[in-house]
Structure 1
Amino acid sequence: MTIATGTVPTGAGVCLTPPPIPLLDLKAQYLGLRDEISQALHEVAHSSTYVLGPRVKEFEKAFAAHVGARHCIGVNSGTSALHLALIAAGVGPGDEVITVPMTFIATTWAISYVGATPVMVDVDPVTYTMDVDQVERKINSRTKAILPVHLYGQPAAMGPLLKLGRRHGIPVIEDAAQAHGARYQDAGAGTLGHSGCFSFYPGKNLGAYGEAGAIVTHDDQIAARLRSLRDHAQSQRYHHDEIGFNYRMDAFQGAILGIKLRYLEAWTEARRRLAASYLDRLADAPLQLPTEALDRRHVWHLFVVLHPERDRLRDALEARGIGTGLHYPVPVHLQKAFAHLGHHEGDFPVSERIARECLTLPLYPEMTEAQQERVVEALRAVFREEQV
């Protein structure tokens, strides 16, 4: 198979290969914020308050307001957020939590951490979020929580899920790790259920410069317990009321996130414009394109297409200088770590198809029109020249 790569002529008559288009460009984002970030880090260092402290409190207050929650509790990762949220919901050994296999594995790690069992339902073939119709038949006396995932930046069908949870007396905990600023109808993702869990891993729409996460809730008592649990379960210094954790957010991350939060809405709108452009320009391509449900605001953390020859397509794009990603190539129920659940290939066909065919195209707020043009043209060239 012959791969053609584009070139750019220079004034001296020499043709140069254009720079690759990355899947994500964190450096470009940093360069636009460098002075503000440097000043904030200097202020934290000068204060000598490195764990929690005023910068974390300021960010918690601002993020709660941004998503529309009463409380935000900053922690050290999105995984820790999920873990504490399950504890605060009363989930423990012997319990079951209904979730999905098409997710990053941290969703199910948290269930295992509390000694509970992940019970899987497949995802909807259009939105790739929890298939509500499959949930009720998995509910039994051991079910203590429902944990939908707002995958790729689109909220799950929270209305029907909350109705189902209320009918059975089961809390709904939102994995909103990829859904900063997303909305279901008129409510912010993460604010509809018992609690909502966010990740601020560097590649997220709102990313730290390291690990960080948060839990949001409207409930004063839940918030108080979460603040205690993240800080060694201290009711007062050196007095520990239960088994706690060192899940505190550090002050540098709080400062960085506080600055970046000011730009999140503009970045989200840029993502939405880029996604709309992809959807328009690739409408006739032999790909299954993602869909934004009418009652939801998708924030396009990832732009994921499906193709039956995904690996060939990925290799051909890579040869043309286009970076891509796989989110996620092995669904949770087929991971070796969860072999004890007894699942087999074919148990969740929609998730398995997404895993086989998913390909993430470059999309980030700093992406230029020219860069997106190169991605689209590279795709068209692959389909035209290589019969992929």
Structure 2
Amino acid sequence: MLIASGMTVKAIELYNSGGKTSIYQLMSFTTGRQPTVTMSPIRAADQRKRSICSPYRPFCGQCPNVQTVNGERHFLSIPRHYQMYLAGLFDLHSGSKCQSMKTTDISLPMAFVHTVWTFKQRFPDLVLLKNLDFGALLVDSCSSGKQAIETVVRAETQCFRFNQAGRNITIVPGSVFGYVSGLHGDSQEALKGYFSSGDAAAALVAADADSTPRNAFTALPGARSQALALLRFLSRMHWQFVTVALSEQDPESLAAFRNFERLALDRGVCLAEVVNIGGVRVENLPIGTTTNVTIVFATSRDAAAYLALTLRSPRKVVHIMMGDSHDWYLHEPENKKHFQGVVSVQPKVSIKI
């Protein structure tokens, strides 16, 4: 923990008279356990007290052009104006019009808000950020890389306003001092590219530990580690010939499959066929498979549609769900009773409170 102690802040007045600029030091403030305040004995000729407002502050009325954004995609943990904001970008919805609720775990956004407010409660005891209040701003990027980038650019360059709990909240350029991202797929890749220089104030929660950049971290094993775990399971069950059902348009599913494909042959597992189930009409997919085991690298929606199709086949097949396909039953709850033998390979999550 870094404690700002011994830092001196000076208040000065610039006075222009006859083309000559005069500087008067009004006071100085030194941080520490016992702050020191020094008032200057030198007084300027003009003793009138002034309050100079920084540009673009909403309470100063310095936002001539304000962009109104969707209040359903921007949230403050406590809706009011703050001096500074820490923005968190998450994929809470998906679809072209941001209309579909995703099955993404909500623990990351909640952890973000909890961490901010825990820090806000602690920093007064540490004499940090004295007289500075900041809020936690959650933004739903709707699983769109374009919207994620637009959110960051807007926060850096434009005043924008949204309504929450009957209040008009205006956020101005420069007041967002950092970003936390827990995005997925294309959204995450787009934001990683934007912050690739490493000098940006962003912490990214990466989905793949194998390709984590310097300013990102992950609590999940990488795609290669998950592929190795799957291969050990197949070896233990003596399943050497498998079929793969793949959502090719989903970056996370494709990355997981590529790692599995590279490692499979060297470990005695043969891929009989790879079926693309993403972005394809269900009736155009083959009903049966040539193997007794199918590994599904897909989104939950694609996996649900594929499993519903397999009900037409009399062949008994073991389905192994990887990644997001684990949540297939959320889209086809009535078919859950027909797939009691589905195997799901998921990272072990240890939660301590």
What's the TM-score once normalised by structure 1's chain length? 0.30
Greater strand share, 1 or 2?
2
* Higher gyration radius (CA): 2
